[in-house]
């Protein structure tokens, strides 16, 4: 039973796990946080997400767009401009994840570092 009195069923567990896997993928959360923080152009994301490669940033933006968390807008100008912004669902997801990030910062010393945490 959950704190709000709901039964935890297989479907709820699967939805929760799928959500965590999506945003828990390396760099996804950081890109979403950058979007909510005001990044719009590719270079702004690159500056906001320290350590991400151009290739990985392009991949994560494409995936987050596919999943409905980021909207991509092409402005037909010379040169062509591409802008990204969080969708309402993306902004809502980041608002839901903010307490988890806060908890992580508060309990960082208690969280064991894994080998995968150290890789760039």
**Domain span at residue 77?**
10-94
Say whether 107 sits in a helix, a strand or coil: coil
Q: What is the pLDDT of residues 8-60, one digit of tens each?
A: 788 888 888 888 888 889 999 999 999 999 999 999 999 999 999 999 999 99
- The DSSP-derived string for 8-49 is --HHHHHHHHHHHHHHHSTTHHHHHHHHHTT--SHHHHHHHS
Q: How many domains does the chain have?
A: 1
Q: How many residues does the chain have?
A: 120
**CATH code of the domain containing 18:** 1.10.10.10
69-113: per-residue pLDDT in tens?
999 999 999 999 999 999 999 999 999 988 988 888 898 888 777
115 belongs to a structural domain: no
* Residue 117 reports pLDDT greater than 70: no
Assigned domain for 1 exists? no
Q: What is the pLDDT of residues 54-74, one digit of tens each?
A: 999 999 999 999 999 999 999
Record the pTM: 0.78
Going by the DSSP 8-state scheme, the letter that residue 109 receives in this structure is G
């Amino acid at each position: 039973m959950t704190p709000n009195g709901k039964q935890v069923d297989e479907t709820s567990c699967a939805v929760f796990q799928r959500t965590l896997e999506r945003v828990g993928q390396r760099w996804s959360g950081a890109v979403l946080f950058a979007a909510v923080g005001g990044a719009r152009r590719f270079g702004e994301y690159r500056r906001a997400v320290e350590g991400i490669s151009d290739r990985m940033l392009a991949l994560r933006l494409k995936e987050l767009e596919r999943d409905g968390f980021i909207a991509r807008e092409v402005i037909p100008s010379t040169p062509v401009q591409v802008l990204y912004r969080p969708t309402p669902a993306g902004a809502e997801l980041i608002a839901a994840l903010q307490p988890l990030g806060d908890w992580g910062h508060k309990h960082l010393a208690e969280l064991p570092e894994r080998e995968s945490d150290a890789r760039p």
